[in-house]
Structure 1
Amino acid sequence: MSKIIYTLTDEAPRLATYSFLPIVEAYAAKAGVEVEPRDISLAARILAHFPERLTPEQVEPDELAALGALAKTPEANIIKLPNISASVPQLKAAIVELRSQGFDLPDYPDEPQSDEDIDVRARYDKVKGSAVNPVLREGNSDRRAPASVKQYARKHPHRMGAWSPDSKTNVATMGHDDFRSNEKSTVVAAEGSVSIEFTAADGTKTVLRSAVPVTQGEVIDATVLHVAALRSFLKEQMARAEAEGVLFSVHLKATMMKVSDPIIFGQVIRVFFDEVFQQYGDDLAAAGLNPNDGLNAILVGLDSVSNGAEIKAAFEAVLAKGPELAMVDSDRGITNLHVPSDVIVDASMPAMIRTSGHMWGKDGAEHDTLAVIPDSSYAGIYQAVLDDCRAHGAFDPTTMGSVPNVGLMAQAAEEYGSHDKTFQLPGEGTVTVVDGSGAVLLEQAVETGDIWRMCQTKDVVVRDWVKLAVTRARATGAPAVFWLDESRAHDAQLITLVTTYLGDHDTEGLQIEILSPVDAMAFSLERIRRGEDTISVTGNVLRDYLTDLFPIMELGTSAKMLSVVPLLNGGGLFETGAGGSAPKHVTQLVQQDYLRWDSLGEFLALAASFEHLATTTGNARAQILADTLDRATASFLDENKSPGRAIGTIDNRGSHFYVALYWANELSQQTADADLAADFASLAGVLGGAEEAIVGELIAVQGSPVDIGGYYRPDDAKASAVMRPSATLNEALAAL
């Protein structure tokens, strides 16, 4: 039997799966396709690393490792839903919940001292941040808005806030002494390994990481962000925000960049509340309250500190004094500095751009904002968008073009693979990358507290990236633009490789450009305002940023993108969009039994998965499922059956019903397989005849609180009951 792996993840996508997966399993079975769920949620990954502390019934297999191995095989066909890239506060919250459910897990050690603490911390660190994506992404990324989605967005445009040419919203970035400006890069001459060594000012040598495997031809980079310069920059921007009368906000990636960006976030809090840390820094440290975890973690922790009320008052005094902070939730007093995972740059910046360049102030009103993105590697792309909107106004979703993306991400390419090679330095000295012969490949001077990192990008991955870019340009006829800056060390190496590998392909008649990110952004914006499409061919971080930015402007959300990862060894990984809005949807479900999560990404990924299965296994019925699901999704969009905005309308569960109905109709009417048509004719009749009853059952439960048994690890029975409240629909699927 052919097989599709369907991942169980976190938050709203996990809850939606309780409703949608039974539909998928029932329909797939008719094509001889097994749909196998695999749990890679944050909770499951935590439990998988502590088997010796659990009872036999509690032990969870390491499904992520198993899927990582599968992703390297031609048989791989994996549908991957959004998962939590856990910040430390999220990780700690998950541990607390799991312990309350009876799992004997140790505390997360902030400052491990004993060998046991060091071991526990190392295990937890394996599930922190972007632990899932680098394991599964054994291929480069092809992300685009399907034609049906784009057509729907043009017919039913989302709201875009008006822009004023007098807007004072801007991006502030360091431009010196940061990761971009200090970057050094080289190409590895021969397969082997390198070590990372820190030599202190007194000559003491410490090996930070030994035996990092490297392959011939891969690009390795090393860079450092100087914390003293960061602190000076932050002070200047706080003064600037106050002087210009705009909100102060910081935008980082404290989930994916799980070592460097939490440290930077902590420095923002230290500088903003400098007088508090000067007076009470020792008290906070003694209580284990780390600013890297965010202001909220400190304020909550102060409840158990003897002089906590006094310290809390000091924090409140600084907040009142200014500059005024942007708010995540003005009603609840949640500022931009409260929780690191609340201000993820690729989600927060597009939201600002979509809302007239505004963020929310503590008064509950919109205001111009100074968006602080400390490292200058990619900050300029957002300034380019702000300047374009100031000059030309908001984008028009009814006419604007698209910017699909081909992303270099396989085998933990670039920054997102740097976590195990990122260090905060304990003193002044030098960090070197040394090969097996003792030769120094890269070297940087560092000072106390500086953040140093090394990145790797495999040659085979770059070759595949170039091939995919040419393939997409040929398939679409759109220009393909490599977003690479010749003045940046890493990009200069890639430009040489890209220029070489383009020669391996027939590019006659194609428009392929290499532009700096800022110039590429300007080029793309000019084209999308004319309604023209432009393929962005980017590195890993820009892939993340752009596949939120452009879809949010075009479609109102990044969850409606088709995300295909052609795996290097012939398999397929099919991702279902971004999960940035997932937490708030869970809150609404628990309070009101209403889930507004949009599963369109799941529908798109599933169709692509069936098509891949048909191509690789010759399963003709899988192709029929793919084709009919595509047509059903088009009907779903045309009939506007996405979750409504308020109780009393269909939510996520209602969307699933309508996809099931339209899909059954399409299957019953297709002529390629009479037996399959007959199988679904009865179901289509039952679902169509019972539409009013089923919708009534789905809406009737709305409005009251529900118990799903846990946020990070829901109880399967409780969550399934909540997400499958229509007995009529459940019986129809069972009959199939």
Structure 2
Amino acid sequence: MSEQHKIIYTWTDEAPALATHAFLPIIRAFAGAAEVPVDTRDISLAGRILAVFPDVLADAQRVSDDLADLGQMVLSPEANVIKLPNISASIPQIKACIKELRGKGYPLPDYPDEPKTDAERDIKARYDKVKGSAVNPVLREGNSDRRAPASVKTYARANPPRMGAWSSDSKAHVVTMDAGDFRHNEKSVTLPAATTARIEHVAADGTVTVMKDGLKLLEGEVLDGTFMSKKALAAFFERQIADAKAQGVLFSLHMKATMMKVSDPIIFGHCVRAFYKDVFAKHGPVLAEIGANPNDGLAAVIASLEALPSDQRAAIEADIQACYDTGPGIAMVNSDKGITNLHVPSDIIIDASMPPMIRDSGRMWNAAGELQDAKAVIPDSSYAGVYAATVEDCQANGALDPATMGSVANVGLMAQKAEEYGSHDKTFEVPADGTMRAVDADGNTLIEHRVEAGDIWRACQTKDAPIRDWVKLAVNRARDAGTPAVFWLDADRAHDAELIKKIDAYLPEHDTAGLELKVMPPVDACRYSLERIRRGEDTISVTGNVLRDYLTDLFPILEVGTSARMLSIVPLMNGGGLFETGAGGSAPKHVQQFREEGHLRWDSLGEYLALAASLQYLGDMFDNPGARVLASTLDEATGTYLLNNRSPQRKVGQLDNRGSCYFLTRYWAESLAKQDTNTALAERFKPVAEALIANEEKILAEIDATQGKPQDLGGYYRPEQEEADAAMRPSRTLNEIIASV
């Protein structure tokens, strides 16, 4: 078999990585029986950090740049990559990872917050390569097809996830800016010809500073530019904090600081300054002197106080407490530990935080550990209206019913760093009053804005080829599913207006007879989809990159209880396939529980679904009948897994990920043993299935014997292989059966 006719399985971070220790040996054993090689690539945060510092590491410490390798691989028509959730690193996470790696003997430099030398600027630039969502833009060389598999939907209807009842007097609401934000300041242009542009800041005295040069733009590419006003943002936060206090609701900020890794930490910092306004007004110079950066969250500010004398530290801590005493209640990440919504930017990620708020009847946890109506503060108005429409729909019509509701699948425009998620290297905090502009190679100004010091200006690109591919994928999905497909685009928004022009041009290239295709503003599209799912009807949302991210958590969490159970296929533009396994927003909490109690409640169903799709693709692409049999039997096993309720449970002593993995393995072996398509595989797996069935009690007892005990993994960001294997594969009996395949 060709070296490329293989499955590439990714090592990532946290709970998904721990689960890989249990599942990967099983994958290799079963796939190997059909001559399907399974290789791995390390795209964990630790692996990515080590890959960018080969010059400071000893030979034995150096690692290959697996992300760059995968970036080339996904350009191949033979690519077959299974991508698990990975850390989209915030600055605090990067610093914590550096500290852990240094403790393991890796001589990495500190992260320089404010580099002063060329060497420090180089170090910061290297670390910034792994900051935020560094992985997805590299691997996503295709657009997204994401939906709930039939087996998952059937199970959710029979076993509906918890949904809170909405009260008629609910005060929950979503607020957003009505001026001065990215949405209202956006300008957009489609390039008539290829060019190379630069981004400039022109100061009030005419001084021109090139912020970014060599920006390559293709013919037909859409270029956007916009900014958020610092003054408007600060005034918005002050109004909402005061209003939360007046209404008696929790103040909760919802951002995406991990993905929008330049703009959103700055916005987050402004919110921290606003909520703790009196602290920064009174102690600002001292906090600045000790490097307390609110962009990193309140936790970083508190940690920096350790550098102060005890009396001075106590005075600042008392003033922080006074903000809680006199201000509104604040939503909590962990009420027991006093961790607020503003402690760490990466703790509150909008697509993972808003759906639970809606599921919990518009409420979040307060400091007393009780649910309370919340004000969801989403500064930029580009997509905030979608969440507002969902809250208002529930207030008017009651909670959605997972037992009867339809589905909202998604076709997402994300290839080649499309839209806002590709803005990181073109986002700047404005250094002084003046003008920000993008200028082409001939000196023509493409986009410009009058700005003030501290404003956040960004540009982003959306190439023509991904847009054309996105339209094709939407048409194909609408035809295959037989359901309406709605493009969530607002003709009154500059960027969306350019995309609508392209849709009008590209739809005639396809046979759309009999298909129901619509273009609707996001708020209207959301209301339309909600009306349909309440009637049990399905709809396909066709969206840009950010809405893809938001909706593929929002609707799945409400429909089936978690986005981790979604099937996510990325048909790559050059052929090949990228198979993603769901969201990892809850992964840190799962690791914490496993380390403390020896119970991992991470559900690997997303991995099972992605593997089946990957095997089916490989079987069809390279005419491997064994791979096709593995795919169909794994699908059957997954259905049995769900119907028998073998998903991990929440508490120690209940079934956890490792026990779930055993049951999936058993059902897969049973399905292989009884199928008659490939008798050789059936004969090979018959004794395996028999051994797994006969030893069920023993295997589960060996796994359960480790529950309730702390687990030493040898690290959080880079666990030791042997320790993690031992923790995740504690059943000697199961290991021996797998080794016999």
TM normalised by structure 2 equals 0.99
Give the one of 236, 246, 252 matched to 2:249: 246
Give the one of 560, 567, 570 matched to 2:565: 560
What is aligned with 2:529? 524
- Mapped to 1, the partners of 2:195 and 2:663 lie a distance apart of 55
- Mapped to 1, the partners of 2:655 and 2:279 lie a distance apart of 49
Please give the secondary structure, in 1, of the residue aligned with 2:165: coil
Please give the secondary structure, in 2, of the residue aligned with 1:217: coil
Q: Partner letter of residue 654 of structure 1?
A: G
- Mapped to 1, the partners of 2:26 and 2:90 lie a distance apart of 33
- RMSD of aligned Cα (Å): 0.7
What is aligned with 1:686? 691
- Mapped to 2, the partners of 1:65 and 1:305 lie a distance apart of 43
Q: Residues 8-47 of structure 1: matches in 2 within 5 Å? A: 8-47=11-50
Give the one of 116, 121, 130 matched to 1:118: 121
Q: Residues 82-101 of structure 1: matches in 2 within 5 Å? A: 82-101=85-104
Is 1:473 the counterpart of 2:478? The answer is yes
Once the 2 structures are TM-superposed, how far is the Cα of residue 527 of structure 1 from its aligned partner? Answer: 0.2
Give the one of 339, 347, 357 matched to 1:342: 347
Once the 2 structures are TM-superposed, how far is the Cα of residue 65 of structure 1 from its aligned partner? Answer: 0.4
Q: Residues 409-488 of structure 1: matches in 2 within 5 Å? A: 409-488=414-493
Checking the alignment, whether the CA contact within 8 Å between 1:405 and 1:538 is kept in structure 2 is yes
Give the one of 727, 730, 734 matched to 2:735: 730
| CA deviation profile, 1:575-595 (whole Å, cap 9, x unmatched) | 000000000000111111110
What is aligned with 1:662? 667
- Mapped to 1, the partners of 2:713 and 2:505 lie a distance apart of 55
Once the 2 structures are TM-superposed, how far is the Cα of residue 322 of structure 1 from its aligned partner? Answer: 1.0
- Mapped to 1, the partners of 2:122 and 2:359 lie a distance apart of 45
Is 1:156 the counterpart of 2:151? The answer is no
What is aligned with 2:515? 510
- Mapped to 1, the partners of 2:654 and 2:44 lie a distance apart of 30
Q: Residues 278-357 of structure 1: matches in 2 within 5 Å? A: 278-306=281-309, 307-357=312-362
What is aligned with 2:271? 268
Checking the alignment, whether the CA contact within 8 Å between 1:611 and 1:622 is kept in structure 2 is yes
- Mapped to 1, the partners of 2:651 and 2:184 lie a distance apart of 48
Once the 2 structures are TM-superposed, how far is the Cα of residue 682 of structure 1 from its aligned partner? Answer: 1.1
- Mapped to 1, the partners of 2:8 and 2:447 lie a distance apart of 42
Q: State percent identity of aligned pairs.
A: 61
What is aligned with 2:147? 144
What is aligned with 2:582? 577
Is 1:390 the counterpart of 2:362? The answer is no
Please give the secondary structure, in 2, of the residue aligned with 1:340: coil
Is 1:598 the counterpart of 2:603? The answer is yes
| CA deviation profile, 1:145-167 (whole Å, cap 9, x unmatched) | 00000000000111100001211
- Mapped to 2, the partners of 1:63 and 1:262 lie a distance apart of 27
Q: Partner letter of residue 9 of structure 2?
A: Y
Runs of 5+ unmatched residues, structure 2: none
Q: Partner letter of residue 739 of structure 2?
A: A
- Mapped to 1, the partners of 2:640 and 2:263 lie a distance apart of 45
Once the 2 structures are TM-superposed, how far is the Cα of residue 37 of structure 1 from its aligned partner? Answer: 1.1
Give the one of 725, 730, 741 matched to 1:720: 725
- Mapped to 2, the partners of 1:105 and 1:139 lie a distance apart of 34
Checking the alignment, whether the CA contact within 8 Å between 1:303 and 1:309 is kept in structure 2 is no
Please give the secondary structure, in 2, of the residue aligned with 1:448: coil
Once the 2 structures are TM-superposed, how far is the Cα of residue 274 of structure 1 from its aligned partner? Answer: 1.5
Give the one of 43, 60, 65 matched to 1:62: 65
Once the 2 structures are TM-superposed, how far is the Cα of residue 725 of structure 1 from its aligned partner? Answer: 0.4
- Mapped to 2, the partners of 1:336 and 1:443 lie a distance apart of 35
| CA deviation profile, 1:54-84 (whole Å, cap 9, x unmatched) | 1111101110000001001111100000000
- Mapped to 2, the partners of 1:664 and 1:276 lie a distance apart of 61
- Mapped to 2, the partners of 1:561 and 1:443 lie a distance apart of 41
What is aligned with 2:237? 234
- Mapped to 2, the partners of 1:369 and 1:57 lie a distance apart of 52
What is aligned with 1:627? 632
Please give the secondary structure, in 2, of the residue aligned with 1:324: coil
- Mapped to 2, the partners of 1:279 and 1:310 lie a distance apart of 11
- Mapped to 2, the partners of 1:141 and 1:21 lie a distance apart of 25
- Mapped to 2, the partners of 1:174 and 1:645 lie a distance apart of 38
Q: Partner letter of residue 344 of structure 1?
A: I
Please give the secondary structure, in 2, of the residue aligned with 1:431: strand
- Mapped to 1, the partners of 2:368 and 2:326 lie a distance apart of 15
Once the 2 structures are TM-superposed, how far is the Cα of residue 285 of structure 1 from its aligned partner? Answer: 1.2
Runs of 5+ unmatched residues, structure 1: none
| CA deviation profile, 1:543-590 (whole Å, cap 9, x unmatched) | 000000000001111100000000000010000000000000001111
- Mapped to 1, the partners of 2:692 and 2:367 lie a distance apart of 48
- Mapped to 2, the partners of 1:92 and 1:289 lie a distance apart of 14
Q: Partner letter of residue 32 of structure 1?
A: E
What is aligned with 1:200? 203
- Mapped to 2, the partners of 1:294 and 1:608 lie a distance apart of 40
Moved more, 280-289 or 30-39: 280-289
Q: Residues 617-656 of structure 1: matches in 2 within 5 Å? A: 617-656=622-661
Checking the alignment, whether the CA contact within 8 Å between 1:650 and 1:698 is kept in structure 2 is no
| CA deviation profile, 1:617-643 (whole Å, cap 9, x unmatched) | 111111010000000000000111001
What is aligned with 1:545? 550
Please give the secondary structure, in 2, of the residue aligned with 1:249: strand
- Mapped to 1, the partners of 2:606 and 2:435 lie a distance apart of 47
Q: Partner letter of residue 725 of structure 2?
A: S
| CA deviation profile, 1:662-688 (whole Å, cap 9, x unmatched) | 101111111111111111111011111
Once the 2 structures are TM-superposed, how far is the Cα of residue 365 of structure 1 from its aligned partner? Answer: 1.2
- Mapped to 1, the partners of 2:554 and 2:686 lie a distance apart of 42
Aligned length: 736
Once the 2 structures are TM-superposed, how far is the Cα of residue 321 of structure 1 from its aligned partner? Answer: 1.3
| CA deviation profile, 1:8-57 (whole Å, cap 9, x unmatched) | 00000000000000000000001111100111000000000111111111
Once the 2 structures are TM-superposed, how far is the Cα of residue 192 of structure 1 from its aligned partner? Answer: 2.3
What is aligned with 1:709? 714
Checking the alignment, whether the CA contact within 8 Å between 1:484 and 1:495 is kept in structure 2 is yes
What is aligned with 1:177? 180
Q: Residues 127-142 of structure 1: matches in 2 within 5 Å? A: 127-142=130-145
Once the 2 structures are TM-superposed, how far is the Cα of residue 324 of structure 1 from its aligned partner? Answer: 1.3
Once the 2 structures are TM-superposed, how far is the Cα of residue 645 of structure 1 from its aligned partner? Answer: 2.3
Q: Partner letter of residue 179 of structure 2?
A: H
Checking the alignment, whether the CA contact within 8 Å between 1:595 and 1:651 is kept in structure 2 is yes
